[in-house]
């Protein structure tokens, strides 16, 4: 019975955290993507949606793989310790994916800004009238 309690609480916490992070990334990442795609909101929304789907697939896939345990978990302390390790790894993966997404958005945004930069024209040579 303790294993089932551990599994259900682990799934609820991990999936809840994944959904919260994905929604936050989706909402806040849109601005960066619209800027990176030169104001093309339709393309930015499409890419944003695809990023969220990939985010869910990776995280929920890991959560499912990490569900298995060989521990007997006879005490409540053992349940908490096992669950904290599993949730801690999920949080580290979520954090790493968040920073990876931010890095990708920043690079895309930087490229978009550099492509849109207008470089000043060199002054005419001396003695040439404009």
Q: What ranges do the domains of the chain cover?
A: 2-115
- What gap in Å lies between CA 26 and CA 34, rounded to an integer? 12
Q: Tell me the pLDDT tens digit for each residue of 84-98.
A: 888 898 889 888 888
> Which pLDDT value is given to residue 12?
92
Q: Tell me the pLDDT tens digit for each residue of 69-119.
A: 877 777 888 888 888 888 898 889 888 888 887 888 788 777 766 766 555
- What gap in Å lies between CA 38 and CA 54, rounded to an integer? 23
Looking at the predicted structure, is the pLDDT value of residue 38 above 90? Answer: no
- What gap in Å lies between CA 8 and CA 35, rounded to an integer? 41
Chain CA centroid to CA 106, Å: 13
Higher pLDDT, 126 or 76: 76
């Amino acid at each position: 019975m303790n294993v089932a309690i551990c599994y259900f609480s682990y799934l609820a916490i991990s999936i809840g955290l994944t959904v919260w992070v994905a929604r936050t990334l989706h909402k806040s990442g849109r601005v960066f993507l619209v800027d990176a795609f030169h104001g093309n909101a339709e393309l930015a929304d499409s890419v944003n949606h695809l990023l969220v789907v990939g985010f869910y697939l990776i995280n929920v896939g890991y959560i499912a793989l990490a569900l298995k345990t060989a521990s007997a978990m006879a005490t409540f302390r053992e349940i908490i310790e096992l669950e904290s390790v599993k949730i801690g790894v999920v949080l580290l993966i979520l954090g790493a994916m968040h920073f990876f997404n931010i890095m990708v958005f920043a690079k895309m945004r930087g490229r978009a800004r550099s492509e849109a930069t207008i470089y000043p024209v060199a002054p005419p040579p001396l003695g040439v009238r404009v």
